[in-house]
Chains A and B, each alone.
Chain A
Amino acid sequence: MEMNVTRRTVLRGAGSLGALSALIAAGALKPAAVFAAEWNKGAFEARDSAGVLKSIGAESATENNKLVLKVPDIAENGAVVPVEVVSGIPNTTSIAILVEKNPLPLSAYFDFSNGALPEVAVRLKLGQTSLIKAVAKADGKFFIAQKEVKVTVGGCGG
């Protein structure tokens, strides 16, 4: 796997901050623009997923197989569960990720502008086995995909 080593070495050499600065300089990431986006206080403070969906206006979201949610069936570590959302729905302008059983279910909300590809990957903390929900907004309509991720105490296998 020499390729991996090379890739890792290059990134180490560049330094993660350096790489990020380069992206920011190139206009790929605009911190100011991100922080300037409207902070939906109600949605992030809602204590159940129904409340979150209401706050972002997605109560009547429908399932769509072009909205793909990738999560493990059983979390290897509940503290850092990899969650990936890819929307193949044209004109997707936002993606929200909810962990239903967390005290504050809304974990992330992304806005996409100027044709940015609606693909995000995050690591989320799960206190217990929970449904994960991805909600995408496209042309004013809301779409949802969901899957259960099991969090277990471990041991005893095999």
Chain B
Amino acid sequence: MSSMNRREFLQMLAAASVAGVALDSRSLLAAENADALYELPKFGNVHFMHFTDCHAQLLPIWFREPSVNLGIGGAFGKAPHLVGEHLLKAFNIKPGTREAHAFTYLDFAEAARIYGKVGGFAHLATLVKRLRGQRPGALLLDGGDTWQGSATALWSKGQDMVDACKLLGVDMMSAHWEFTLGDKRVQEIIDKDLKGRIEFLAQNVKTTDFGDPVFPPYAMREMNGVQVAVIGQAFPYTPIANPRYMIPDWTFGIQDENMQKMVNEVRAKGAKVVIVLSHNGMDVDLKMATRVTGINAIMGGHTHDGVPQPITVKNSGGQTLVTNAGSNGKFLAVLDFDVRNDKVQDFRYKLLPVFSNLLPADPGMAAYIDKVRAPHITRLEEQLAVTEGLLYRRGNFNGSWDQLILDALMDVKGADIGFSPGFRWGTTLLPGSAITFEHLMDQTAITYPYATLNEMKGERVKVVLEDIADNLYNPDPYYQQGGDMVRVGGMSYTCDPNAKAGNRISDMRLNGKPIMAGKTYKVAGWAPVDPTAKGEPIWEVVGDWLKDKKTVSARKVNVPKLIGMKGNPGIA
């Protein structure tokens, strides 16, 4: 029903009811809300559109929001650590609606069948054009994690996404996974493709030798008579979370002292509105907003939190809005400021879900996407198996997609224990769907995809789990890395997120028997950051396994027993 307007849809509904087709009340509501969703009157005179973490998803997809996103310490019970009904309540969203479906995991498979897929660059392009038409001068900001996440992005070394972003009209971007293409490729794209079109901004990337800036820290524009500045913040822990050998000569970090310097610099140059385009992750953004003054809004990503409203953070210089715009092309954020007498008087923010059925595909972008896919279409559409259960990834501890990867990996490698990285990207498949090679690549397309089998002592397994748990649950966001917990197959364990570093993991068991510190176990994994690690790509391991199975039953998702999380609104 992509080209169907509301009247046609209602006519179809009437015809369907005459024909005796059962329609529930939600299908009717879906039709009624359709037109209103994208009516967003222009406000003020300074406008930003923002998407982030699209992970190279050019086509419409499904993406299930998490049912576990725990907030620890000061983050307890606060956005973005709210899931399901708790999130709906906090942001006044009516349950059972289209928006409730966009922002939560609730009733996911059923609601997804009613409301259809989300995102897709052709549909996003239509929305961007519509908003630009109403908002002359609006800037389109891309928070990064754009050149990675699909087969075609991997095979073209990011080129398909670079050209798609140019066509979409991105003005400025920052980055994270882009760096896993390697420093030379990033520089090549900036020099050959982005020059004069898209500003690649990062105030917190320096050379390891002299500490010289690698990229421009900010860009300034005049918009409807108002000077505005956008400062870029790349993911601060790229060389830790991803292989350092990809970017050996660059050093990152949060660098909020330099951020303050940049804010002061652009203010001195006349900026009346200062935006930070951030890939910090929302918890880090919230802390940064208390420490750095003079920023109007930090428009963030990395943690893939679809937060319906900005969080206002007070600081010694006034206040800063902190937003996070979800992932996988599912949302487009619109931030309008009313700037008069050299001051921001007021603002409006809306995080718009991109429902592909409600936004017709932009013909130019659709044609471009077809062209990019055409040479690979047979390989992309190869059916590997059919899934009986819902396959999703996002969530603090595990997802059914990762469980499938773990099951395949441990089976093929003959391992006792399996580890799968806590990536937050990766799309969702509904029960009964075909799993194509493209879908598998949506979970695994990285430049260091090696599947490994290592012998590890029980004590080492504990150290690894403790280390990653601290990256997720350290009460100070500046010590977090923004991924989810490593997914664990084969063994059970207990996790106490509130405990101190080194004391969160306990009762590790394999087949019911305690894991012994001195005993050696066979541990399979993938995505090693070690430059010497080798192995076949994970998609070969899982792909062969799927082809052998033909039909995959619903996975039993292995999650730890949790301590002290009762009553936490970050868990369903």
- The residues of A with any CB-CB pair to B shorter than 8 Å are 1, 3-4, 7-8, 70, 72-77, 82, 129, 148, 150, 152-158
7 A/B residue pairs, CB under 8 Å, sorted by A: A3-B212, A8-B209, A76-B252, A77-B239, A153-B467, A155-B241, A155-B527
Report which of A7, A77, A129, A157 forms a contact with B481, defined as CB distance below 8 A: A157
Report which of A1, A3, A8, A157 forms a contact with B241, defined as CB distance below 8 A: A157
Give Cα A150 to B478, complex, Å: 10
**Known pairs A73-B253, A74-B237, A129-B501; A152 contacts B210 (CB<8 A):** no
Quote the shortest CB–CB distance from A76 to chain B (angstroms): 5
Task: Given A76-B251, A156-B241, A156-B486, output 7 extra A-B contacts at Cβ < 8 Å.
Answer: A3-B212, A8-B209, A76-B244, A76-B253, A77-B244, A154-B240, A158-B242
- A153→B463 contact, CB < 8 A: yes
- SS of A interface (majority): loop
- A158→B177 contact, CB < 8 A: yes
- A7→B422 contact, CB < 8 A: no
Give the residue name and chain of the B residue nearest to A7 (CB): B210
Give Cα A129 to B479, complex, Å: 11
Give Cα A3 to B177, complex, Å: 27
- Cβ of B330 within 8 Å of any chain A Cβ, yes or no, is no
- The residues of B with any CB-CB pair to A shorter than 8 Å are 145, 176-177, 207, 209-210, 212-214, 235, 237-242, 244, 251-254, 257, 302, 421-425, 463-464, 467-468, 470-471, 474, 478-479, 481-483, 486, 501, 527-529
- A76→B241 contact, CB < 8 A: no
Quote the shortest CB–CB distance from A112 to chain B (angstroms): 23
- A156→B471 contact, CB < 8 A: yes
Q: Which residues of B contact A158 (CB under 8 A)?
A: 145, 176-177, 235, 241-242, 302, 423-425, 481-483
Q: Which residues of A contact B214 (CB under 8 A)?
A: 1
Q: Which residues of B contact A70 (CB under 8 A)?
A: 257
Q: Which residues of B contact A154 (CB under 8 A)?
A: 240-241, 244, 529
Which of A3, A154, A156 is most buried by chain B, counting CB atoms within 10 A of its CB? A156
**Known pairs A77-B244, A150-B479, A155-B529; A1 contacts B253 (CB<8 A):** no
Which 3 residue pairs across A and B have the least CB separation, nearest first? A157-B241, A157-B483, A157-B481
Q: Which residues of A contact B483 (CB under 8 A)?
A: 156-158
**Known pairs A4-B207, A8-B210; A157 contacts B467 (CB<8 A):** no
- A157→B501 contact, CB < 8 A: no
**Known pairs A74-B240, A76-B244, A76-B251; A152 contacts B471 (CB<8 A):** yes
- B240→A152 contact, CB < 8 A: yes
Quote the shortest CB–CB distance from B433 to chain A (angstroms): 26
Give the residue name and chain of the A residue nearest to B241 (CB): A157
Q: Which residues of A contact B482 (CB under 8 A)?
A: 157-158
Give Cα A75 to B244, complex, Å: 12
Give the residue name and chain of the A residue nearest to B487 (CB): A156
Give Cα A144 to B123, complex, Å: 57
Q: Which residues of B contact A157 (CB under 8 A)?
A: 235, 237-238, 240-242, 422, 471, 481-483
Q: Which residues of A contact B470 (CB under 8 A)?
A: 150, 152
- A1→B252 contact, CB < 8 A: no
Q: Which residues of B contact A73 (CB under 8 A)?
A: 253-254, 478-479
- B253→A72 contact, CB < 8 A: yes
Quote the shortest CB–CB distance from A68 to chain B (angstroms): 10
Give Cα A154 to B244, complex, Å: 10
Give the residue name and chain of the A residue nearest to B303 (CB): A158
Give the residue name and chain of the B residue nearest to A68 (CB): B257
Which of A1, A150, A157 is most buried by chain B, counting CB atoms within 10 A of its CB? A157
Give the residue name and chain of the A residue nearest to B211 (CB): A82
Give Cα A150 to B482, complex, Å: 15
Quote the shortest CB–CB distance from B487 to chain A (angstroms): 9
- B421→A155 contact, CB < 8 A: yes
- A156→B213 contact, CB < 8 A: no
- B479→A156 contact, CB < 8 A: no
Q: Which residues of B contact A3 (CB under 8 A)?
A: 212
Which of B302, B423, B464, B479 is most buried by chain A, counting CB atoms within 10 A of its CB? B479
**Known pairs A155-B241, A156-B241, A158-B177; A74 contacts B145 (CB<8 A):** no
Give Cα A118 to B423, complex, Å: 44
Q: Which residues of B contact A1 (CB under 8 A)?
A: 212-214
- B463→A76 contact, CB < 8 A: no
- A156→B501 contact, CB < 8 A: no
Q: Which residues of B contact A156 (CB under 8 A)?
A: 241, 421-423, 468, 471, 481, 483, 486, 527
Give Cα A21 to B257, complex, Å: 34
Q: Which residues of B contact A82 (CB under 8 A)?
A: 251
- B210→A76 contact, CB < 8 A: no
Quote the shortest CB–CB distance from B285 to chain A (angstroms): 15
Give Cα A153 to B254, complex, Å: 19
Q: Which residues of B contact A75 (CB under 8 A)?
A: 240
Quote the shortest CB–CB distance from B248 to chain A (angstroms): 10
